[in-house]
Amino acid sequence: MKYLSVMVLILLSMNAADAQSKKLQKATFGMGCFWCSEALFQRLNGVASVRSGYEGGNVANPSYEDVCTGTTGHAEVIEVTYDPSKIKYEELLEVFWKSHDPTTLNRQGADVGTQYRSVIFYHNEEQKQLAEKYKKELNDTRAFDKPVVTAISKAAPFYVAENYHQDYFNKNGSAPYCRMVILPKMEKLEKLFKARLKH
């Protein structure tokens, strides 16, 4: 009997761990410089963590310098770990599309190159369908002056960027780039998504 109760406890704890791992999900977005993207998504309620990195290229373990050459095929991306019971994937997509220009190919503002492309790396079929549906609606309703060129691709190996790229805005908020480029995006986020931000 004692053995049976131990087995039941082990199975219950395994189920709890499994439920915990299913609870959090991943989303991966490329929308220009990952410093900007990271700063925005870190503010959203329901987002547990954001990591900057590189995805979608043809070289293993690329460095920032490698990616900057534009020859590795990687995009600067953020990997968002979120709780779908607090923020839905559709809401993440809305922030994604309203926080950058998805109509410029391989460019965001002054940042030019394939590493700055607008891209969604989906982790499952549901994410793929939601992203494609949303993109189609944006184009059908002419939400932007030009067509949305965001690529929707299957998740590829994600390589975490160097430590100095992580949590960049929080650590370097007074730097000129942060004040001139990231701060206006943060102010826009505050206006558009105030109800969804962490307090």
Reply yes or no on whether 33 is catalytic: yes
Among 33, 36, 68, 178, which one carries the catalytic annotation?
33
The identity of residue 136, as a single letter, is K
| Separation CA 147–CA 57 (nearest Å) | 25
> Cα–Cα distance between 132 and 112 in angstroms, integer?
25
SS3 letters for 158-177? EEECCHHHCCHHHHHCCCHH
CA 197 vs. chain centroid, Å, equals: 16
Strand order in the sheet with 25-31: 151-154, 118-122, 25-31, 75-82, 47-55, 158-160
Query: Residue 74, SS3?
Result: coil
Whole-number Å distance between alpha carbons of 186 and 199: 14
Distance CA 40, CA 189 (A): 7
Bridge-based pairing of strands 107-108 and 111-112 is: antiparallel
User: Active-site positions?
Assistant: 33
